[in-house]
């Protein structure tokens, strides 16, 4: 019979790698804690409608990439492809606005998109991110950018670039949309299929097209930052003042727009040069219109999301060891049946004292057990056979010093603790 294999586009995170994940997650949690962001966990699936309304029917995510299925009750469900809409849903549904005027959340979550695994894209991937709900003040935008950069800095990432832009709000975006369409219209037939499709409903995304012909045609396009209304202009100006005060350097990129429809005013992206070309590791921005889109009361909001797989790839590339390899503290080598019978209770004593300990589960020879202790880089090896049982004394090998001493059973923990602290 053929063995069962994992689904294409998914990954097993094996020991050796999982430690790096935990280390990064711990670093994220610790940074979120000092910034006073609280974890919010949402279900892995939601009604499809949440994403259709929250992300926008016309986006690639909703139209092509979502993991959508009908359950046995014929309800249409979707494995969450992003976290902003679920967080907003949870915030509205649980009336969290009634408990506090400003809510700061973070998440670390698996997400799902039915991407093409041939292109090396994952169908289950992982992101962490943060969302501040309930304030329109640019201080929240600046804090968000500072938070993201701080996490990367603590992880040891270098050569990061921050780009920012303002995409305005409903007041300034509508007239600008017309201006942009007027600019594109004469050459529309020269743009790619995707851009032509976006022309009527979502012309701003045409500015985001990475295809060479399109970006060349966009060279002289009118820029929204030059057409911001008074309030949006002030908001953007304040954000830049805050970034300056925080000594965060940035590039203004008038053509930076985010893939999702609900963004307003601030958008930002952090890229890394580590993997050769510029790679986005973080995208974020303000989305003051999402709450209403989901049927809630108006709630200004700002957030960012960051891919964990790519971050770990960069960390590996930069030879950053987020979590050093674990060494075994104690390996118990047993000789004979009686000693083997006792080994589990010795292990229990060692483990209760906090020593990472192991023994042989295969009834191997002393020589083979010693090889195993070396393979796991044990710092101490306890030898227990008939003789040791009779004298109620272990033979203890201190591996780094190639030294062997005798330790009475009763003094084991005490002795190990003082040796470990040397
Ligand atoms: Zn295009
Ligand atoms: Zn505006």
CATH code for the domain in which residue 367 is found:
3.40.50.800
Query: 293, 317, 341 — which closes off a domain?
Result: 317
Q: Between the CA of residue 296 and those of 54, 103, 134, 395, what are the distances in Å?
A: 12, 15, 12, 69
pLDDT value at 173 more than 90:
no
Residue 184 located in a structural domain: no
Distance 410 CA to ligand 1 centre (A): 75
Q: Hey, how many other C-beta atoms are within 10 angstroms of the C-beta on 163?
A: 17
| Residue among 261, 61, 271, 247 at smallest CA distance from 164 | 271
Residues 258 and 356 in one domain: no
What are the tens digits of pLDDT across the range 307-344? Answer: 999 999 999 888 888 888 789 999 999 999 999 999 99
Distance 15 CA to ligand 2 centre (A): 50
* Count of domains for the chain: 2
pLDDT value at 259 more than 70:
no
Residues 83-97, mean pLDDT to the nearest whole number: 97
Distance 411 CA to ligand 2 centre (A): 74
pLDDT in the model for residue 106? 98
Distance 232 CA to ligand 2 centre (A): 4
Ligand (nearest to CA of 166): 2
Site of tokens 């809409």: 85
- As given in the structure block, the two tokens for residue 49 are 């409608």
What are the tens digits of pLDDT across the range 45-69? Answer: 999 999 988 877 667 777 778 999 9
- Angstrom distance (rounded) from CA 28 to CA 38: 12
Residues 82-93, mean pLDDT to the nearest whole number: 96
Angle between helices 18-34 and 308-317 (to 10 degrees): 110
3-state secondary structure 402-416: CEEEEEEHHHHHHHH
- As given in the structure block, the two tokens for residue 196 are 């032509």
pLDDT value at 273 more than 90:
no
Q: What residues are neighbours of ligand 2 (ion), with CB under 5 Å?
A: 168-169, 171-172, 229, 232
The gap between the terminal CA atoms of the chain, to the nearest Å, is 55
Q: Provide the pLDDT confidence category of residue 201 given band limits of 50, 70 and 90.
A: confident
- Angstrom distance (rounded) from CA 163 to CA 210: 16
What is the percent of the chain where pLDDT is above 70? Answer: 98
Distance 192 CA to ligand 1 centre (A): 4
Residues 309 and 376 in one domain: no
Q: Between the CA of residue 411 and those of 396, 398, 406, 408, 419, what are the distances in Å?
A: 12, 16, 10, 5, 12
- Angstrom distance (rounded) from CA 58 to CA 205: 11
Q: Hey, how many other C-beta atoms are within 10 angstroms of the C-beta on 131?
A: 25
- As given in the structure block, the two tokens for residue 344 are 């589990």
Distance 211 CA to ligand 1 centre (A): 5
Residue 341 located in a structural domain: yes
What is the average pLDDT score of the chain?
93
- Whichever domain contains 59, its CATH number is 3.30.930.10
- Domain carrying residue 397: 330-420
pLDDT in the model for residue 260? 62
What are the tens digits of pLDDT across the range 403-414? Answer: 999 999 999 999
Q: Provide the pLDDT confidence category of residue 70 given band limits of 50, 70 and 90.
A: very high
Residues 382 and 259 in one domain: no
Give the burial string for 261-290 (b: 16+ CB within 10 Å, else e).
Answer: bbbbbbbbbbbbebeeeeeebbbbbbbbbb
């Amino acid at each position: 019979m053929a063995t069962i294999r994992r689904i294409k586009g998914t990954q097993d995170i094996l020991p050796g790698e999982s430690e790096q994940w935990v280390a990064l997650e711990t670093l994220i949690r610790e940074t979120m804690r000092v910034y006073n962001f609280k974890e919010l966990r949402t279900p892995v699936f939601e009604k499809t409608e949440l994403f259709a309304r929250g992300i926008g029917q016309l986006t690639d995510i909703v139209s092509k990439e979502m993991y959508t299925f009908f359950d046995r009750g014929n309800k249409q469900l979707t494995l969450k492809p992003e976290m902003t809409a679920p967080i907003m849903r949870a915030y509205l549904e649980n009336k969290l606005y009634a408990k506090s005027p400003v809510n700061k959340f973070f998440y670390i979550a698996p997400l799902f998109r039915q991407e093409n695994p041939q292109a090396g894209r994952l169908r289950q991937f992982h992101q962490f991110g943060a969302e501040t709900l309930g304030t329109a003040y640019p201080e929240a935008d600046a804090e968000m950018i500072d938070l993201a950069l701080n996490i990367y800095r603590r992880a040891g990432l270098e050569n990061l670039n921050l780009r920012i832009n303002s995409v305005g709000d409903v007041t300034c975006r509508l007239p600008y949309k017309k201006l942009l369409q007027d600019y594109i219209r004469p050459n529309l037939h020269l743009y790619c299929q995707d851009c032509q499709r976006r022309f009527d409903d979502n012309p701003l995304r045409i500015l985001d097209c990475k295809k060479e012909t399109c970006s060349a045609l966009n060279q002289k396009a009118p820029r929204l930052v030059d057409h911001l209304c008074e309030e949006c202009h002030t908001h953007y100006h304040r954000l830049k003042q805050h970034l300056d005060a925080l000594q965060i350097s940035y590039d203004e990129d008038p053509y930076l727009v985010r893939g999702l429809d609900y963004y307003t005013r601030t958008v930002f992206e952090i890229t890394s040069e580590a993997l050769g070309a510029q790679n986005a590791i973080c995208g974020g921005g303000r989305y003051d219109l999402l709450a209403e889109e989901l049927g809630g009361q108006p709630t200004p909001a700002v957030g960012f999301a960051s891919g964990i797989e790519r971050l770990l790839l960069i960390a590996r590339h930069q030879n950053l060891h987020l979590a050093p390899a674990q060494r075994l503290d104690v390996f118990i080598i047993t000789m004979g049946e009686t000693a083997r019978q006792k080994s589990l209770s010795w292990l229990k004593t060692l483990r209760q004292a906090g020593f990472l300990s192991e023994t042989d589960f295969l009834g191997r020879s002393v020589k083979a057990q010693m090889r195993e202790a070396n393979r796991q880089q044990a710092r101490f090896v306890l030898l227990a056979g008939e003789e040791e049982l009779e004298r109620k004394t272990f033979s203890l090998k201190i591996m780094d010093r190639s030294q062997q001493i005798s330790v009475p059973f009763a003094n084991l923990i005490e002795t190990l603790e003082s040796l470990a602290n040397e």
